[in-house]
């Protein structure tokens, strides 16, 4: 491998921002892109989100809902690194794709609203990151507003998420009295709302403000110093190794909206964020990013980004080597080789064609129905398959039928394809074989309905079954059909595994009390 290519690969930092809606992900993304020079005006991403941006070539359903930047990959250069931020849609557009995106990153940034603490969606996404053991960096946002006490927030992180934390910096005051942050890592105080030059104040060897400054006289400074003393004595120690293993989360405080603490965060983060990581194949070979041969896997398929062309885009995370437009690659599942003449990459402002990309990067391949979620593509002659992407436990279910029974063939073909593609999950009742769909977010159903009409010309009838708790069964042979009931429905998944759909937590516990021998488990 040429040293240039090696350098290119090692410069990549690929991450996703996880948060609960409204915690400030869009604002933060915008500020990061702004620092990286990827956008001129910190307002572009927001404008897209709120629909003020021209979204002519985005999927129709997204336009209607004013969602955009879906699935985009935003790229910028900073301090010799090439940063790839993968978007993880929130709100109603939360879906399995959101989870799967986390399979394609090497680290995650978790944004927490200081007033709200850890919220449900953050928790779900956090669990997926934890399962992968990737480093997680925390940014506690909105310090310009009154929020929870910083020590309380740290405690919440540890208790609710079960991860140890290390405060990289500490707020001095909050809300109207927010004076700045005490930066433990860079050993300085960064003042809030102060001009560039005199923003930073030095701290001495005792950890005290080294210069005469009015801040020193405030109770907020005294409080911060007390807290820091406590952290120094009783808090966790910083360990880069434990950060890398995802066992310790470095915590930063700041305010994305006022652009405070963001640059410091970015710079510190980039010092610790991992380079592209190796991946395992199904037969447990390790594929290193610096391997000469190109390889990658499909983690997301986006349909109809341009309705005029009915195209689909398969998003590929490059695991090793280099991609060049025009190169040949082989799809491992089918062993078919093809030349990639069209490829696309997503930047903040527009789609661009990419000619070259390396391990750590994401490319979008135009797809006419060849790819499935989890597919492996390789550049060399020897094919292999990356580990299967996990299946996620759906929480929402719908019964679905074709409005016109004459369309039954198209109906089944459409479902099969969309299920294989990973857009939705398939379940059926035991004897009547009624079709049910499972999803983690409502939008998946809407996309399904829309695509069945647009691509397969089938109108579907969707009958909500509401939230269910799906549980798979370790010892299927012990399951009796008499165990099924209105509150504990027994169905089969697409691989023919038995699954109980419980009405709620209570129904599940009631079932377990009655049937102690049945071992239930959930997917991720
Ligand atoms: P999201 O992508 O995570 O959903 O959050 P987003 O960035 O859209 O932020 C949600 C709201 O929180 C926005 O206000 C945004 O301006 C605000 N916000 C983000 N960061 C900060 C911060 O550091 N301090 C304060 N005070 N507010 C912050 P909004 O009223 O919903 O939208 P807008 O009318 O301001 O655009």
307-322 pLDDT tens trace: 555 667 888 999 999 9
* Higher pLDDT among residues 118 and 40, named by residue: 118
Task: Kindly state the helix (H) or strand (E) to which residue 424 belongs, with its residue range.
Answer: none
Which atom, in ligand 1's list, is nearest to the CA of 23?
3
What are the pLDDT digits (tens) for 17-63? 999 989 999 899 888 888 877 655 555 555 555 443 333 233 444 44
Is the separation of the CB atoms in 84 and 32 below 8 Å?
no
Q: What is the pLDDT of residue 70?
A: 39
Does residue 19 have its Cβ closer than 6 Å to ligand 1? yes
Is there a binding annotation on residue 464?
no
Task: Give the residue among 192, 140, 200, 190 at the shortest CA–CA distance from 165.
Answer: 140
DSSP string, 202-250: EB-TTSSB-S--GGGGSHHHHHHHHHHHHHHHHSPPP-HHHHHTTSEEE
Instruction: Give the DSSP letter string of 157-220.
Output: IIIII--EEEESEEEES-GGG--EEEETTTTEEEETT--STT-EEEB-TTSSB-S--GGGGSHH
Compute the distance between CA of residue 129 and CA of residue 125 in angstroms, rounded to an integer.
Answer: 7
Cα 220 to averaged position of ligand 1 atoms, centre (Å): 25
Please, what is the Cα angle at 21 between 19 and 25, to 5 degrees?
Answer: 55
24 contacts 256 by C-beta, under 8 angstroms: yes
DSSP at 335 = T
DSSP string spanning 59-86? -HHHHHHT--STT-EEEEEETTEEEEEE
* Pocket mutation for ligand 1, best pick of 19, 24, 30, 72 (most atoms within 8 Å of C-beta): 24
Give pLDDT tens digits for 480-518: 988 888 899 999 999 999 999 999 999 999 999 999 999
Positive or negative CA dihedral for 444, 97, 250, 77? negative
Cβ of residue 26 lying under 6 Å from some atom of ligand 1: yes
CATH 3.40.50.300 domain span(s) along the chain: 16-70+108-272
Is 348's pLDDT higher than 50? no
CA of 43 to the centre of ligand 1 (A): 12
| Residue-wise pLDDT tens digits, 356-376 | 899 999 988 888 778 888 999
Answer whether residue 343 shows pLDDT above 80: no
Regarding the beta carbon of 487 and ligand 1, being less than 6 Å apart is answered no
Residue 168 vs residues 94, 139, 215, 269, 338: alpha-carbon distances, Å: 30, 10, 20, 10, 48
ipTM above 0.90, yes or no: yes
Q: How far is the CA of 27 from the centre of ligand 1 (A)?
A: 6
Predicted confidence at residue 52, as pLDDT, reads 37
Structure tokens at 471: 């549980």
Atom of ligand 1 nearest to the CA of 28: 7
| C-beta 257 within 6 A of ligand 1 | yes
Could you tell me which of 478, 476, 504 has the C-alpha nearest to residue 489? 504
Query: Which residue, by CA, sits nearest to atom 15 of ligand 1?
Result: 24
pLDDT tens, position by position, 212-224? 999 999 999 999 9
Tell me if 87 is assigned to a ligand binding site. yes
φ and ψ of 374, to 5 deg: 90, -5
The verdict on whether residue 20 carries a ligand-binding annotation is: yes
**CA-CA-CA-CA dihedral for 246, 91, 259, 209, to nearest 10:** -40
CATH number given to 396-521: 3.30.70.3280
Q: How many C-beta atoms lie closer than 10 Å to residue 395's C-beta?
A: 15
For residue 325, the model assigns a pLDDT of: 83
317 in contact with ligand 1, CB cutoff 6 A: no
Which ligand 1 atom minimizes the distance to the CA of 111?
A: 3
pLDDT at position 41, please? 52
Delimiting residues of CATH 2.40.30.10 domain(s) in the chain: 279-378
User: pTM for the full model?
Assistant: 0.88
**Residue range(s) occupied by CATH 3.30.70.3280 in the chain:** 396-521
Q: How many CB atoms lie within 10 A of CB 291?
A: 18
Nearest-CA neighbor of 114 among 96, 140, 82?
140
Residue 23 annotated in ligand binding = yes
Report the candidate in 132, 115, 120 with the shortest Cα–Cα distance to residue 16: 132
CA distance 524 to 516: 23
Indicate whether residue 116 lines ligand 1 (CB < 6 A).
no
Residue with the nearest Cα to atom 10 of ligand 1?
22
Per the CATH hierarchy, to which homologous superfamily does domain 16-70+108-272 belong? P-loop containing nucleotide triphosphate hydrolases (3.40.50.300)
- Token look-up 């997926």 returns 128
Mean pLDDT for 138-160 is 96
Query: What distance in angstroms lies between residue 24's CA and the mean position of ligand 1's atoms?
Result: 5
Beta strand 488-493 with 460-467 is unpaired
Q: How far apart, in whole angstroms, are the C-alpha atoms of residue 338 and residue 340?
A: 6
Taking CA atoms, 268 is separated from 23, 251, 287, 362, in Å, by: 21, 11, 28, 24
CATH of region 279-378: 2.40.30.10
SS3 call for 405 = helix
Please give the mean pLDDT across all residues of the chain.
Answer: 87
Q: Tokens 């030349």 identify what position?
A: 339
pLDDT per residue over 399-452, tens digit each? 999 999 889 999 999 999 889 888 899 999 988 889 999 998 888 898 899 889
């Amino acid at each position: 491998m040429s040293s240039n290519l090696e350098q290119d690969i090692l410069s990549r930092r690929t991450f996703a921002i996880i948060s609960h809606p409204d915690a400030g992900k869009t604002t933060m993304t915008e500020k990061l892109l702004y620092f990286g020079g990827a956008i001129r005006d910190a307002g572009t991403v927001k404008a897209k989100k709120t629909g003020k941006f021209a979204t002519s070539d985005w999927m129709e359903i997204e336009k209607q809902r004013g969602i955009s930047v879906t699935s985009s990959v935003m790229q910028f250069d900073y301090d010799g690194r090439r940063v790839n931020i993968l978007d993880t849609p929130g709100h109603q557009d939360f879906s399995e794709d959101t989870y799967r995106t986390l399979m394609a990153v090497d680290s995650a940034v978790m944004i927490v609203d200081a007033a709200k603490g850890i919220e449900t969606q953050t928790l779900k996404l956090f669990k997926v990151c934890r399962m992968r053991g990737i480093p997680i960096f925390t940014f506690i946002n909105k310090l310009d507003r009154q929020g929870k006490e910083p020590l309380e927030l740290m405690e919440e992180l540890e208790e609710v998420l079960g991860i140890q934390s290390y405060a990289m910096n500490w707020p001095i005051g909050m809300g109207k009295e927010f004076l700045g942050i005490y930066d433990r890592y860079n050993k300085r105080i960064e003042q809030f709302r102060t001009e560039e030059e005199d923003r930073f104040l030095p701290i001495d060897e005792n950890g005290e403000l080294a210069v005469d400054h009015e801040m020193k006289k405030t109770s907020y400074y005294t409080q911060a110093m007390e807290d820091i003393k406590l952290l120094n004595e009783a808090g966790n120690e910083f360990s880069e190794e434990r950060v890398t293993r995802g066992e310790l989360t470095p915590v930063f405080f700041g305010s994305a909206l006022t652009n405070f603490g963001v640059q410091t965060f970015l710079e510190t983060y980039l010092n610790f964020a991992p380079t592209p990581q190796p991946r395992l194949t199904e037969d447990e070979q390790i594929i290193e990013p610096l391997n000469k041969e190109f390889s990658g896997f499909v983690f997301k398929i986006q349909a109809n980004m341009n309705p005029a062309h009915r195209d689909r885009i398969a998003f590929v995370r490059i695991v090793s080597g280099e991609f060049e437009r025009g190169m040949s690659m082989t799809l491992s599942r089918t062993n078919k080789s093809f030349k990639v003449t069209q490829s696309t990459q997503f930047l903040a402002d527009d789609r661009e064609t990419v000619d070259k990309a390396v391990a750590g990067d994401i490319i979008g391949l135009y797809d006419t129905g060849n790819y499935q979620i989890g597919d492996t593509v390789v550049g060399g002659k020897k094919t292999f398959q990356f580990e299967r992407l996990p299946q996620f436990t759906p929480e929402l279910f719908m019964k679905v039928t074709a409005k016109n029974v004459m369309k039954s063939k198209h109906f089944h073909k459409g479902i099969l394809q969309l299920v294989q593609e990973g857009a939705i999950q398939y379940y059926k009742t035991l004897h009547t074989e009624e079709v049910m769909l499972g999803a983690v977010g409502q939008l998946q159903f809407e996309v399904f309905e829309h695509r069945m009409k647009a691509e397969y010309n089938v109108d579907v009838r969707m009958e909500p079954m509401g939230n269910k708790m799906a549980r798979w069964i370790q010892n299927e042979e012990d399951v009796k059909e008499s165990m099924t009931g209105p509150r504990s429905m027994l169905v089969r998944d697409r691989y023919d595994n038995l699954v109980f759909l419980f009405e709620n937590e209570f129904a599940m516990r009631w079932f377990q009390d009655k049937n102690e021998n049945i071992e239930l488990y959930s997917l991720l």
